[in-house]
Amino acid sequence: MAGRLENKVVLLSGGTRGMGEAQVRMMAAEGAQVIFGGRDGGAGSAIEAALGGRATYVRLDVTKSDDWKAAVAHAMDRFGRIDGLVNNAGFGVTRPLAEISDEEWADVIAVNQTGVFLGMREVVGPMLASGGGSIVNVASPAGVKAHGNLVAYSAAKAAVIGMSRAAAKELAGQGIRVNVFIPGYFATRLLMESSKGQGLERGAQVTPMGRVGQPEESAGAIVYLLSDESSFVTGTQITADGGYTA
């Protein structure tokens, strides 16, 4: 039986750990050829080896347009098309507004907002050439719900939602769908190490379902948005947060 992403080529950023890694693995299992980026070459190579030719690691700093161009060129040279893009890379700075430095602000905006823009910009041409595609941009509850000490991150993730809607409207008639995925608290290393090691416990406490999500639970939504099952879905957002933003 064919997988839900059979014969599709997908490029994903931030794929060497956490939700990104889970998404790479599920996309490959569903039949996609995955080109995934990240800064951890060791982890990337290990994932590539484990997936036996269904996934290819590329070095990708999402803030650098040359890295995006190289990743897109690699996909086109090897497979001749790009059907999907997942802008998953991101990070935040938890600090009071008055204490955020110029450098911290610039770094958060560069990764979470500019990186998404660069990824979208570079895949539009290849997608148009092959008849269309699906772009999934990962945002955050911080982009739709007030959080103290997260001004830079909230600004960037709100921008991701705005950019995605604008791009969806612009590209809808050209066969390219653009949607947003909003994950809540997930059991990633970043959460485990946050709040002095209490991140998992605190995440569960504020989530109505009483637990944090597992990385694999993020992957199902991503696969849906990339697949032909969501062929009439664009300009919207899917939230997987256990009821946190309800």
Catalytic residues: 153
The candidate with the shortest Cα–Cα distance to 160, out of 203, 96, 206, 108, is: 108
Distance CA 233, CA 85 (A): 15
Contact yes or no for 117/67 (Cβ under 8 A): no
Tokens of 185: 């608290």
Q: Among residues 92, 88, 81, which one has the least CA distance to residue 39?
A: 88
Q: Alpha-carbon distance 16 to 147, whole Å? A: 27
Let me know if 70 is exposed, middle or buried by CB neighbors in 10 A (0-12, 13-18, 19+): middle
In sequence order, what are the residues at sequence separation of 6 or more whose Cβ sits closer than 8 angstroms to the Cβ of residue 26? 216, 219, 220, 222, 223
Cα dihedral 139, 141, 142, 143 in deg (nearest 10): 50
Two structure tokens written together for 108: 């958060």
Q: How far apart are the first and last CA of the chain?
A: 37
